[in-house]
Amino acid sequence: MPPTVVKSRPGHRCSECGFAATRWMGRCPECQAWGTLTEVGGGASGGLRAVTPGPVTGRARPIAQVELSGSRAVPTGIGEFDRVLGGGLVPGAVLLVAGEPGVGKSTLLLEVAHRVAEANGPTLVVSGEESAAQVRLRAERIGALHPQLFLAAETELSAVLSHIEEVNPSLLVLDSVQTVRSPAVDGTDGGATQVRAVASALTGIAKSRGMTVILVGHVTKDGAIAGPRALEHLVDVVISFDGERHSTLRMVRATKNRFGPADEIGCFEIGDGGVVGVPDPSHLFVSKRSVPVAGSSVTVTMEGSRPLLAEVQSLVATNAGGGSPRRAVSGLDPQRLAMINAVVERRGGVPLASADVFAASVGGVRILEPAADMAIALAIASAAKDKALPVGMVAFGEVSLSGEVRRVGGIGRRLAEAARQGYTLAVVPPDPGPVPRGLRVVEIPDLGSVLNRLF
């Protein structure tokens, strides 16, 4: 009887998320991307391949005996950046910093490299988008020249590795990962295969040498990080650098952090001297006026563990055109504003069905948490009735469809920040807990009662 021949068939893998499939499909069932499954080789279709025990990199030890001396965060000297990272840069960590073009990523990271060079020795900045002379000009402008700060302009991974061997830096900044290619991997420059190969190689070197690596990443027109989704899984920290093009305010957020909180925020202000941290940014989001105006309300938002005062402004105008009323939003969630409009009209008795409603935050800050519902509702009602809210008042609380005002997290810290900024009246959900000295608290169970009380 002739021996049985086991035919092998090629396997397929998604270039975006790494999903493996035995057959080709037009759409990846994992990440829903089209045309990303490519053939990666053949595999036996009959049974599993036997795996024998092999050598290990180190013996397994009780977790309490694992040393932590080489994994402590080292501060960079930039307080707002360290706040987002959870204390500083961890040796061997790989960070991915992404943001829109011109938002200030390269300027901030050049300042970070300068501070690290002053405190911890050699740092290496590799630019694949600019020449060394262009980066030198920026360094002179922000005062980031230092003999321990090394600079190179390369687009080949092998050349980057040679610079690492020569300089032996404690920090590597690669700007950007999409501009560097690996000659050992096929694929277009900046494609998913190339980006994954470059990031994997630098991650392995970072772990083996205890060197911190910061990768600058591009973003798509939708604001998502360009490249394969596996890139975000591969790195230890993912940081987004946001900011309006016409505003000097920049927000740094950690969307993933293996060494600290993933919801912290850092505030920076960009100017001629570079990117400067703003340790107390509440004054940037609140207007300074001597006379109160209708349609303005102040709330206290929580960004990570930091309470921030933010102002919400609204304008309600009569729809004289006879068409559908307009709803325009800037810095707020449009869907949530539509819900609050309906609650204010139905539960608060404020007619809005035939009026144009405009709402915006002050200073370019984005307010998305439900705790700002109360402030948005009060701003809309104040604009509709053309009556200003009391001076020195803050309001926060989640508003439900029934008009009930629900509790939110961090009430104690919100009240403490309002009192520190000089506010004297707070409209809050029931049972707020201890109240800071000098602050009068009004507990509101539902939206209708607060509107009746204020107007």
What would the DSSP string read from start to end of 337-373?
Answer: HHHHHHHHHHHH----TTEEEEEEESTT--B-SGGGH
> How far apart are the C-alpha atoms of 171 and 255, rounded to whole Å?
21
CA 54 to chain centre: 41
Is 190 annotated to bind a ligand? Reply is no
Residue 153: enclosing H or E segment and its boundaries? Answer: strand 149-153
The count of C-alpha atoms lying within 13 angstroms of the C-alpha of 61, restricted to the half-sphere facing its C-beta, is 8
List, in order, residues 6 or more apart from 83 with CB less than 8 Å away: 264, 266, 306
Write out the E strands in 220-279.
Answer: 237-242, 249-257, 265-271, 274-277
Residue 443: enclosing H or E segment and its boundaries? Answer: strand 440-443
List, in order, residues 6 or more apart from 160 with CB less than 8 Å away: 126, 152, 154, 174, 180, 202
Using DSSP, state whether 213 is helix, strand or coil: strand
Contact 85, 238 (CB under 8 A): no
Place of tokens 């590799």: 126
Number of neighbours of residue 438 by Cβ within 10 angstroms: 10
> How far apart are the C-alpha atoms of 342 and 322, rounded to whole Å?
20
Q: Going edge to edge, which strands form the sheet with 212-217?
A: 149-153, 123-127, 171-175, 212-217, 94-99, 237-242, 249-257, 265-271, 274-277
Q: Going edge to edge, which strands form the sheet with 327-330?
A: 327-330, 355-361, 306-318, 296-303, 393-395, 425-428, 440-443
Contact 202, 215 (CB under 8 A): yes
List, in order, residues 6 or more apart from 394 with CB less than 8 Å away: 298, 299, 300, 309, 375, 414, 418, 423, 425, 426, 427
What would the DSSP string read from start to end of 85-112?
Answer: HTSSBPTT-EEEEEE-TTSSHHHHHHHH
Fill in the DSSP letter of residue 256: E
Is 102 annotated to bind a ligand? Reply is yes
Is 221 annotated to bind a ligand? Reply is no
Is 43 annotated to bind a ligand? Reply is no
List, in order, residues 6 or more apart from 50 with CB less than 8 Å away: none
Is 105 annotated to bind a ligand? Reply is yes
Is 385 annotated to bind a ligand? Reply is no
Q: Going edge to edge, which strands form the sheet with 37-44?
A: 20-21, 8-14, 37-44
Q: Which residues are annotated as a binding site?
A: 99-106
Q: Which residues are annotated as a binding site for ATP?
A: 99-106
